[in-house]
A and B are shown apart, each in its own frame.
Chain A
């Protein structure tokens, strides 16, 4: 299995909702990442998990809360988001700091 999967593909939520994005990989990668991508811009790093521990938080607002339950799974919990948080959220994984494998993303719309 050489892919990163993400669910859901699309998500529409209101500003008072709580939702979660999920990411899964079975390549034995020990680093996992969340990126935010706005239209026609390159991905912007949000969080890095290394060996299931949060190693980098790029000053992301607390309404985004990452979680790494085990080495294969990465979640992003969303609460009280703003319309400007609407974007494509990409998950990626890598062996240490090698090439990153990206999932297909979750297209999030905040109303």
Chain B
């Protein structure tokens, strides 16, 4: 898996608003899709690992969906809070190699 695209690159959202962003990846040789949350000066923190087409996972106000046939995943944040400000990285994993390739991320800033 070489082409991982995340959009938008950056996003500014008012506190309390909901938002979502996209990860696109080649659908061939798909094995799993990882989402990570990455705060400045910290290490990436795993949010979700999804494997099945149609998978939907939720952790608090954050949820994610997966479409393996068309090669995309959405991350949703409901009722954004200042602590949600971070870069959200997606990382697909192919079935032919035990490794993940990080996208360049969506940098989310929440305005109080």
Cα–Cα, bound, A48→B97 (Å): 10
Nearest-Cβ distance from residue A36 to partner chain B, whole angstroms = 12
Tell me whether B98 and A102 are in contact (CB under 8 A): no
Contact status of A56 and B46, CB under 8 A, knowing A97-B31, A100-B34? no
Please provide the chain B residues from 27 to 55 with a CB less than 8 Å away from any CB of chain A in the complex.
Answer: 31-32, 34, 38, 42-46, 49
Interface bracket on B: 20 to 34
B32 in complex: contacting residue of A33, A55, A97, A103, CB < 8 Å: A97
Using Cβ atoms and an 8 Å threshold, which residues of chain B touch A101?
46
Nearest-Cβ distance from residue A65 to partner chain B, whole angstroms = 19
Cα–Cα, bound, A9→B44 (Å): 16
Cβ of A43 under 8 Å from chain B: yes
Cα–Cα, bound, A99→B35 (Å): 9
Cα–Cα, bound, A48→B44 (Å): 17
Cα–Cα, bound, A50→B97 (Å): 12
Interface bracket on A: 20 to 34
Tell me whether A90 and B43 are in contact (CB under 8 A): yes
Tell me whether A31 and B98 are in contact (CB under 8 A): yes
Tell me whether B98 and A100 are in contact (CB under 8 A): no
Tell me whether A103 and B98 are in contact (CB under 8 A): no
Q: Which 5 A-B pairs have the closest CB atoms?
A: A42-B102, A102-B43, A99-B46, A99-B49, A97-B98
Q: Which residues of B contact A (CB under 8 A)?
A: 31-32, 34, 38, 42-46, 49, 89, 93, 97-105
Return 6 A-B CB contacts under 8 Å, by A number. A42-B102, A42-B105, A45-B100, A48-B98, A97-B31, A102-B43
